[in-house]
Chain A
Amino acid sequence: MFSFKLGLKNLTRQKRRNALTILVIAFAFFSYLLMDSLMNGMEEMSFENIKNYDTGNIQVTYPEYWEDREKLPLENLIYLNQDMEESIKDTDGLLGVSPELRFKANLNNGIDEVAVMGMGISIEQYNEVFATQNYVVEGSMFAPGESKAVIGVSLAELMDLKVNDYITLLVRTKEDTFNTIDVEIAGLIRAPNPMINNGIVFVPLDVAQQALNVGKGVSLLALKTVSGDEDTATKALTDSFKNKDMDLKAYSWKESAASVIALSVAKKGGIGAILSIVLLIGMLGIINNVILSALERTEEIGMMKALGMREWEIVFVFMVEATGIGILGGLAGCLIGYAGVSGLVKYGYGLGYIGGDGSAYGIPILDRMYGTWNYPAFGFLFVLGVIVALLSSILPAYWAAHKDPVKAIYHR
């Protein structure tokens, strides 16, 4: 089709302007792909950090405790019995169970005091569920039977503490009397989830239970399951508890990560807004290009009409040209986007500008965020970009084609 050929040939006119439009589109595509990769990476890392260092895949507790869990109450604790253990053991894909006693405490180093969350854990079971042990940067996790503590590096820096120092945790027992836990620091951790590093003191479960006077009570059971199976396992567990007339309930990690999930939803909105801006930039570039081309080629348009070309045929010539620019811009954008995303996946993006700690912004990520590959985004953006280029050329092209042929031919 000759009009198609003419449209393509017109791409070689005004090379600098076309190249600039292509560059603008490419840069907009590149920015979107980078942002999309980073946002998805942030989401993925956040979820992994929550599961691997905070909640496990599933948490089992009483609904009353769950309601008040932020307040770290010592009410509605779980006292494990055989029925409970059987129900949990029967969970499909179960990899580990970690009982936790969470409590409010004030950490005292002899000079200063700071409010922290105490976490009584059974170290062997904890290690089956969480990966925190891999991030001990000094000393070690306490061994079973040891009466020691592990704290985060950030907390240690804040309180000027180091390994082998003694700390005192001031706690209130179940009966609301004061008690203390005096322990030596066995190790310092620097987990990828900064929330773990900033305000948690890990102590042996039996030490915590004794100090808080809760018997064998635990706040919750953190379960590790095969990833992706959480929803089915959560439902199965809750049903199993119900069948045995137990009030316990299972909660997927997603329910503990509401704020991060809310961020993720906001992220989708943000990505949508960025996409709109990207498309708007492309659209404006194309419209500007078609209008300038039409103004420069007014006589030519007049000649085309004199030759008997119909308006839609002239519109088609401009559309081919605009679509060509869209395709080239899209390809260039995807190409540099590929390079950019490769860099993000490999080297990540440092959080130095926010002090390396995302937790201040509700993001459980430390030091560096990494991008992820989202191949459909490349295809989607390219196709959408080409469609937008094509559609945004129609109106200015129609304006050009609709010119009075006499005025067009003799416009000079």
Chain B
Amino acid sequence: MALLELNKVKKIYQQGKIEVPALRGIDLTVEQGEFTTIFGPSGSGKTTLLNMIGCLDTPTEGEIRLNDKKVSDLSRKELAMTRRYNIGFVFQSYNLIPVLTAYENVEFAIRLTDHTSESQMKEKVLKMLAEVGLKGLESRRPNELSGGEKQRVAIARALVKEPKLVLADEPTANLDSETAAGVVDIMRKMNKELNTTFIFSTHDPMVMKYANRFINLKDGMISADERRG
């Protein structure tokens, strides 16, 4: 059973009286453990597609199934619960909470899902921060971290709850190439170790070289879908 299935998914935005199609009929199946990049020019629908997959937005037409559950049938509460337990997000602008330390930003995500003891929770958060190379920086606030470090905190936050699927929207767009390579390295490592499914949207060729599946979007449609190695 595939982790994710999209059947003829369309998304049309209404801008005044004008209908703007963002996705024009996407058929896509993603298996558990895939490391997939979605690429394409600006306005091709990459972010819209990620939002649909991430249960943040609903399609105008078509069907999305996550874990064999039809997303469009879910209530707001069920959508929130699906995101909480199954999906991790990494954003281009990190979106860390500035008043929380690196540790607390990661703790925030696990508190929503994990109801184990305090000590186990702490152990998990510290381990995850260490995994992304932030050991010793746990008590720093986002304004005391570099761009790469912030993105690592965001990755740790997405992964600490061990979701089946991580969605990353241009995660390296704000990073220099060396830092970006480090961040993608971490995600690839997590993908291998935890069998977490990653779906990226990116323009970055360096990110793409790590992926094992490439989906090219053009004008809201998949123009190429290629698997490698």
**Which residues does A use to contact B, with CB under 8 Å?**
2, 6, 9-10, 12-13, 299-300, 302-303, 305-311, 405-406, 409-410, 412
User: Is A303 in contact with B99, judged by CB distance below 8 angstroms?
Assistant: no
Some 27 contacts from A to B, beta carbons below 8 A apart, are A2-B111, A2-B112, A6-B97, A6-B100, A9-B100, A10-B99, A13-B98, A299-B93, A300-B95, A303-B97, A305-B56, A305-B83, A306-B83, A307-B84, A307-B89, A307-B157, A308-B82, A308-B83, A308-B84, A308-B85, A308-B112, A308-B113, A309-B80, A309-B84, A311-B76, A405-B57, A406-B51
With A9-B99, A299-B93 as contacts: A406 and B57 at CB distance below 8 Å: yes
User: Is B56 in contact with A303, judged by CB distance below 8 angstroms?
Assistant: no
Q: Does chain A have a CB within 8 A of B91? A: yes
Looking at the assembled complex, report how far the CB atom of A373 sits from the nearest CB atom of chain B, in whole angstroms.
40
With CB as the reference atom, state the residue of chain B lying closest to A299: B95
Question: Which residues of A are found within 8 Å of B97, using beta-carbon distances?
Answer: 6, 300, 303
Q: Does chain A have a CB within 8 A of B54? A: yes
Looking at the assembled complex, report how far the CB atom of A243 sits from the nearest CB atom of chain B, in whole angstroms.
76
Question: Which residues of B are found within 8 Å of A300, using beta-carbon distances?
Answer: 95, 97
User: Is A308 in contact with B108, judged by CB distance below 8 angstroms?
Assistant: no
With CB as the reference atom, state the residue of chain B lying closest to A303: B95
- Known A306-B89, A308-B82, A308-B84; 11 more pairs at CB < 8 Å: A2-B111, A9-B100, A305-B80, A306-B54, A306-B83, A306-B87, A308-B83, A308-B112, A309-B84, A406-B56, A412-B93
Question: Which residues of B are found within 8 Å of A308, using beta-carbon distances?
Answer: 80-85, 87, 112-113
User: Is A2 in contact with B107, judged by CB distance below 8 angstroms?
Assistant: yes
**Which residues does B use to contact A, with CB under 8 Å?**
47, 51, 54, 56-57, 76-77, 80-85, 87, 89, 91, 93, 95, 97-100, 107-109, 111-113, 157
Question: Which residues of A are found within 8 Å of B93, using beta-carbon distances?
Answer: 299, 412
User: Is B56 in contact with A405, judged by CB distance below 8 angstroms?
Assistant: yes
User: Is A13 in contact with B54, judged by CB distance below 8 angstroms?
Assistant: no
With CB as the reference atom, state the residue of chain A lying closest to B157: A307
Bound Cα distance from A409 to B82, whole angstroms: 18
Q: Which of B54, B82, B99 has the most CB of A within 10 A?
A: B99
With CB as the reference atom, state the residue of chain A lying closest to B85: A308
User: Is A409 in contact with B91, judged by CB distance below 8 angstroms?
Assistant: yes
Question: Which residues of A are found within 8 Å of B57, using beta-carbon distances?
Answer: 405-406
User: Is A409 in contact with B112, judged by CB distance below 8 angstroms?
Assistant: no
Question: Which residues of A are found within 8 Å of B84, using beta-carbon distances?
Answer: 307-309
Bound Cα distance from A67 to B90, whole angstroms: 86
Instruction: List the 8 shortest-distance A-B pairs measured between CB atoms, nearest first.
Output: A308-B84, A303-B95, A308-B83, A2-B111, A9-B99, A306-B89, A405-B56, A310-B80
Question: Which residues of A are found within 8 Å of B83, using beta-carbon distances?
Answer: 305-308
Looking at the assembled complex, report how far the CB atom of B187 sits from the nearest CB atom of chain A, in whole angstroms.
17
With CB as the reference atom, state the residue of chain A lying closest to B167: A306
Looking at the assembled complex, report how far the CB atom of B144 sits from the nearest CB atom of chain A, in whole angstroms.
15
Looking at the assembled complex, report how far the CB atom of B89 sits from the nearest CB atom of chain A, in whole angstroms.
4
Question: Which residues of A are found within 8 Å of B100, using beta-carbon distances?
Answer: 6, 9
With A303-B89, A306-B56, A307-B89 as contacts: A409 and B77 at CB distance below 8 Å: no
Question: Which residues of A are found within 8 Å of B108, using beta-carbon distances?
Answer: 2, 6, 307
Bound Cα distance from A9 to B84, whole angstroms: 23
Bound Cα distance from A4 to B47, whole angstroms: 32
Looking at the assembled complex, report how far the CB atom of A146 sits from the nearest CB atom of chain B, in whole angstroms.
82
Bound Cα distance from A306 to B93, whole angstroms: 14
Looking at the assembled complex, report how far the CB atom of B148 sits from the nearest CB atom of chain A, in whole angstroms.
19
With CB as the reference atom, state the residue of chain B lying closest to A12: B99
Question: Which residues of B are found within 8 Å of A410, using beta-carbon distances?
Answer: 47
Bound Cα distance from A310 to B77, whole angstroms: 7
Bound Cα distance from A43 to B85, whole angstroms: 64
Looking at the assembled complex, report how far the CB atom of B123 sits from the nearest CB atom of chain A, in whole angstroms.
17
User: Is B112 in contact with A307, judged by CB distance below 8 angstroms?
Assistant: yes
Looking at the assembled complex, report how far the CB atom of B181 sits from the nearest CB atom of chain A, in whole angstroms.
25
Question: Which residues of B are found within 8 Å of A6, using beta-carbon distances?
Answer: 97, 99-100, 108
Bound Cα distance from A307 to B89, whole angstroms: 7
Looking at the assembled complex, report how far the CB atom of A1 sits from the nearest CB atom of chain B, in whole angstroms.
9
Q: Which of B76, B82, B97 has the most CB of A within 10 A?
A: B97
Looking at the assembled complex, report how far the CB atom of A164 sits from the nearest CB atom of chain B, in whole angstroms.
80
Bound Cα distance from A13 to B143, whole angstroms: 13
Bound Cα distance from A303 to B153, whole angstroms: 14
Bound Cα distance from A245 to B83, whole angstroms: 89
Question: Which residues of B are found within 8 Å of A311, using beta-carbon distances?
Answer: 76, 80
User: Is B112 in contact with A13, judged by CB distance below 8 angstroms?
Assistant: no
Q: Which of A13, A303, A412 has the most CB of B within 10 A?
A: A303
With A2-B107, A2-B108 as contacts: A303 and B91 at CB distance below 8 Å: yes
Looking at the assembled complex, report how far the CB atom of B121 sits from the nearest CB atom of chain A, in whole angstroms.
10
User: Is A309 in contact with B95, judged by CB distance below 8 angstroms?
Assistant: no
With CB as the reference atom, state the residue of chain A lying closest to B97: A300
Question: Which residues of B are found within 8 Å of A307, using beta-carbon distances?
Answer: 83-84, 89, 108-109, 112, 157
Bound Cα distance from A289 to B129, whole angstroms: 34
Bound Cα distance from A77 to B69, whole angstroms: 98
Looking at the assembled complex, report how far the CB atom of A7 sits from the nearest CB atom of chain B, in whole angstroms.
10
Bound Cα distance from A311 to B76, whole angstroms: 9
Question: Which residues of B are found within 8 Å of A412, using beta-carbon distances?
Answer: 93
Question: Which residues of B are found within 8 Å of A302, using beta-carbon distances?
Answer: 95
Bound Cα distance from A33 to B87, whole angstroms: 53
With CB as the reference atom, state the residue of chain B lying closest to A405: B56
Question: Which residues of A are found within 8 Å of B56, using beta-carbon distances?
Answer: 305-306, 405-406, 409
Bound Cα distance from A405 to B80, whole angstroms: 11
